[in-house]
Amino acid sequence: MNKDQAYHQIALACLKTLRNTNASSDDAVAELYSAIDEAFQGQFALLITELEENRERLNRICELDPNSCTLADAQAIAEIRGTAH
């Protein structure tokens, strides 16, 4: 995931909330803040997942036996991609 994708998802959540809000301005602001918070939490969860996947790959690389494994083996582990975000 890149920054533009994350911002796009957050902006969409804000626009959806603004379109669907028929409340007073104070309530609308509160709903918008809530939508922003939920969108950030969703993006944060994706980043945590990516971090955990990367940590797992690094640990697997660290566990390679340098006497029997090559740089290509480490690169193959590094290039494994999990769930697309």
Q: Report how far apart the first and last C-alpha atoms of the chain are (Å, whole number).
A: 6
Question: What integer is the mean pLDDT of 4-25?
Answer: 82
Please report which confidence band the pLDDT of residue 83 belongs to, taking 50, 70 and 90 as the band edges: low
- Nearest residue to 6 (alpha-carbon basis) of 30, 42, 32, 35: 42
Q: What percent of the chain has pLDDT over 70?
A: 93
pLDDT (tens digit, 9 = 90+) per residue, 18-55?
888 776 777 778 888 888 898 889 889 988 999 999 99
Whether 53 and 78 have beta carbons less than 8 Å apart is answered as no
> What's residue 82's pLDDT?
64
pTM of the model: 0.62
> What's residue 65's pLDDT?
95
Whole-angstrom distance, CA of residue 1 vs CA of residue 42: 12
Whole-angstrom distance, CA of residue 23 vs CA of residue 35: 15
Whole-angstrom distance, CA of residue 26 vs CA of residue 46: 31
